[in-house]
Amino acid sequence: MKGKLHHLLMVKDCMNEDEFRFTVARVLTNHCLQELDRTGRKMNRMKLLDRVNLSLRSIGIKEVSYEYMRKYV
């Protein structure tokens, strides 16, 4: 996942802010869902949203809304 985020940061200038934010959120969400499937655990959307938003904040990107998570998951 770090490799994907690194590559996205390299092409950040080619995207507008919202495209970049939602693309990074999608990569983070996919990674979390894959890890949950691999370990056989379950997580509700709100906790998943908190985890994704925490990761977004840590790299300096605005958070995504719960509506995004409802549409995507």
- The answer on pLDDT for 73 being more than 80 is no
Helix (H) or strand (E) holding 44, with range, is: none
Closest CA to 23 of 48, 4, 47, 43: 4
**Model confidence at 11, in pLDDT bands (50, 70, 90)?**
confident
* Domain ranges (residues) in the chain: 2-72
Residue 72, sorted as left (phi over 0), alpha (psi -120 to 50) or beta, turns out to be: alpha
Q: Is the pLDDT of residue 69 over 80?
A: yes
CB 63 within 8 A of CB 19: no
The tens digit of pLDDT for each residue in 37-54 reads: 999 999 899 999 999 999
Digit-coded pLDDT (tens) for 50-62: 999 999 999 899 9
Q: What is the pTM of this model?
A: 0.84
CB proximity list for 23: less than 8 A, separation 6 or greater? 8, 15
